[in-house]
Amino acid sequence: MNLVIECDGDYWHKYPVGRDIDHIRTKELIQKGFKVLRLWEFCS
């Protein structure tokens, strides 16, 4: 199994541009046969 683990923090990834980039990256990885697991860090 090809697995990519992405660790995202809300500081950079909560904005629309960051989310769009993440979505594009995830879509490309899936198309190449990878499974993608995203872990989120949230600071309040």
The C-alpha torsion from 14 through 21 and 35 to 42, rounded to 10°, is -10
* pTM listed for this prediction: 0.78
Note the pLDDT of residue 44: 67
pLDDT score of 3 more than 80: yes
Domain ranges of the chain: 3-41
Which letter does DSSP use for residue 15 in this model? S
Give every CB contact of residue 33 below 8 A, 6+ residues apart in sequence: 2
pLDDT digits (tens, 9 = 90+) for 4-28: 999 988 877 778 888 899 999 999 9
User: Which residues, listed in sequence order, are joined to residue 29 by a DSSP beta bridge?
Assistant: none
Note the pLDDT of residue 25: 96
Q: Tokens in use for 4?
A: 């990519």
